[in-house]
Amino acid sequence: MTAEVSNGLKCPKCGGKLTQYTETESYNGYKISKHILKCKLCNYREVTQEVKIMKSENAVTIQIPRPEYQQIRNLKIKSKT
């Protein structure tokens, strides 16, 4: 799934307008959500945030895999059952 949002940011390579995308990829047992900035003129692409979401029987675990994104580390949310 991909969502697109236009913003006022400029491309560092060509000065064109950057568009923000959110991509969500599903795998066996987890999802990865990526926030991406992309220039339509020169195809510059930068992942600004990446989040891995895993679900088990009694908990949801959210991981931010890359160190520069680790403002929240391995946040666990237990379900109410």
Model confidence pLDDT, tens digit, residues 16-41: 998 988 889 898 888 988 888 899 89
* Residue 18, CA distances (Å) to 43, 61, 68, 78 in order: 10, 31, 21, 37
Question: From CA 54, how far away is CA 65, in angstroms rounded?
Answer: 12
Mean pLDDT score of the chain? 76
Number of residues that make up the chain: 81
pLDDT at 44: 92
Unique residue bearing structure tokens 């160190």? 67
Model pTM above 0.75:
no
The per-residue pLDDT for 14 is: 92
DSSP character for 16?
P
Supply the pLDDT for residue 5. Answer: 54
Strand positions, DSSP E, 1-81: 2-10, 17-27, 30-39, 45-55, 59-63, 75-78
